[in-house]
Amino acid sequence: MDPDNQIIVALDCDNRPTAEDTVDRLGDECSFYKVGLELLTAAGPDFVKHLVARGKKVFLDLKLFEIPNSVAGAVRAAGALGVSMVTVHSMGGTSIMTAAVDAARAFPDLRVLALTVVTSMTDEDLADIGVSDSSEQQVLRLARLAGKAGCHGVIASPQDVAALRSTLGSDALIITPGVTLPGETRFEHARPGTPRAALAAGASHVVVGRTVTRAPDPAVAFRLVQAGLRTAAPAGVE
């Protein structure tokens, strides 16, 4: 896969002008952006349409967790916007994920991704909600469930990638938020990793946020991530 298309920049902004400025400064360097709940709420779906109209791919990170009918409606709305990926929460179970997959069939280019365990959660956090297994065990359980429901892939931490690739096979998309460059702070992520390590372990895409968006020159920062992916070792090699 072309490294240029494996990097998704997270526009975790609270307003449209800031997001547009980041996209403008990155220019042709970046072709794929993540829009999450904060920016979608602040800027609305018109900003998503704006990105698509500019020829950008959009990963709409909604983390849908609702009754199946509502999830299906949201996926259809996402497909109508022209986005490339949309997320559903795997903890909602098979019926929710199946509803999302079924709704996406009307949009051949739309991929449904199941969020497994958010990268900020620890084993202690899982215990708080009654899950006695480790985060690694829970990730694999939910990933298998997502596969059976027909999801095109999963969202998981860089540290989960190798086990997921072995479990899900070569065709599944594995998107990893929580990546940071060597020496950077881990921010709020409990299970981080570098873009290079994530790709080497078998990730299909990495999501980078503040590493790029808060850099003095986002385009230079993006190229650093890009260069690291181009020299990534084969899967299973550190």
Residues designated as active site: 63
Domains of the chain: residue spans and CATH:
3-230 (3.20.20.70)
DSSP strand pairing (153-155 vs 173-176): parallel
Digit-by-digit pLDDT tens for the chain (238 residues) are: 566 689 999 998 999 999 999 999 999 999 999 999 999 999 999 999 999 999 999 999 999 999 999 999 999 999 999 999 999 999 999 999 999 999 999 999 999 999 998 878 888 988 998 898 888 899 999 999 999 999 999 998 888 999 999 999 999 999 998 777 665 555 555 555 788 888 889 999 999 988 899 889 999 989 988 887 776 544 443 3
Instruction: Read off the amino acid at residue 38.
Output: E
Distance of CA 53 to the CA centre of its chain: 21
pTM: 0.89
CA 101 → CA 8, 42, 127, distances in Å? 22, 27, 30
The radius of gyration of the chain from alpha carbons, rounded to an integer in Å, stands at 17
Q: Tell me how far apart the terminal alpha carbons of the chain are, to the nearest angstrom.
A: 19
